[in-house]
Amino acid sequence: MFPNQSKLLIQIACFMILISLAAWGGARWALVQVRSEQFAPWWQSEANNGQRLLPVGASTSIPDFVLASERSTPAVVYIKTQSTQAMRSFNDWFFGDFFNQGPQTVLNSGSGVIVSEDGYIVTNNHVVEKASKIEVVLYNKKSLSAELIGSDPGSDLALLKIEATSLPIIPFANSSQVKVGEWVLAVGNPFNLTSTVTAGIVSAKGRNLHLMSNLFPIEAFIQTDAAINPGNSGGALVNTNGALIGINTAILSKTGSYNGYGFAIPSNIVRKVIGDLKEFGKVQRAFLGAEVVDLDEKICKQTGIQHMNGVFITSINQSGGAREAGLQSGDVITAINNESVHSKSAYDEQLSYRRPGETVEIQIEREGKIIKCKVRLTNLDGDTEIQKNRSVRSTELGCELEPLSKMELDGLQTSHGVRIVSIQAGTLSRMGLREGFVITHVNKKAMQSPTDVIDALSSTRGQITIEGYDKNGGKAVYSFYGF
């Protein structure tokens, strides 16, 4: 081999080595870059000419649960109640009070939220509905007696009042602006464990669970996976700013304990209800004057409607704003005051913010055409008057009674009737009657008012027969032998 050839081969070998080293270094650099991109937090990745990109709706900050807890827990109270209920024995059905085992004291507990510095507290109706004594334990462990200002079984809310000043409060948030996926905290006293905070997200909105026994319930629950257990009822559901977005009310569970599903009454409904209870002692419920149901596949197939977004009008009441505005059976309501109405629960929620006498703009779809009209809302009696609390309490009977409205009487197809609002220890509980039962006759005599019922049951001796309707509208008869 010639010397020049040896030199050339050496140069070629060196060049190949350099190329190999360069290729190896480049591959290693690329691998490092891939790994760093693969494992780096998303907020450190760059694209689009070096501009930082964030996922849609993402935030670089972690929710401050500590701040929200500190703001909300001082305003959530522990509620202890005492009620007296009669113990019925087999002999009660035959011998009246003579062999009655006597009243039994029942203790219960729940939570509440302070909504004013001068001592107004909102809680669930089912926490205090049978209570003869209500005690509120503040965050500083001070105990105070509470007065029941008013309650509303239809929304399962109640308003209490304690004598105190300068109390910590939770500000109201606009529950209509709450988004599914938003972080929330549930604050309450589960299992008698005071000031407990759990975290989760909003799982859904506008849930209708058919929990309320009232003839005209308001159900548009916020669903959350924040842990809610017995004792949380009446507590607060707050956002990460510590503002109130709902009152915790129910859980969905086969065991009675948390199973991933909790439900809260939206704060906008809470604000309206407690405002009415404070001002009038009774919730001023507004009605359109139409019966509606959710659109479903069957209705759409029968009517030719091409979507299931809205509520379907099945009938128009003889009196009310719907008839005056020209609404018809078969119309589909799709919006109220420009707020979309996609379900019966959304429809009920929109009306729950209103009072009789207010006018709303209704958007309907009729035979494929969009129509807008103004409708004046009415009360249960079909007029626009503010309704007063007409309930009457009877210690002897152990109950609170109220007359039925015109709309309720029409719904039951009767001309008279008196509803049992609440029951404590007394004659009615021994007979097995329950809240929500409508008494139409006592010993065949028609009952027109609460006073009629009280007089009839207080003066009758011997056999007593009560006729009426249960909370589902079914006819029922109770028979009892008294002295």
Residues marked as catalytic: 126, 156, 233
Instruction: In whole angstroms, give the CA distance from residue 320 to residue 395.
Output: 38
Closest CA relative to residue 362, chosen from 341, 339, 325, 336: 336
Ramachandran region of residue 358, left (φ > 0), alpha (ψ -120 to 50) or beta? Answer: beta
Q: Contact at 8 Å (CB) between 449 and 480?
A: no
The residue behind tokens 């690329």 is 30
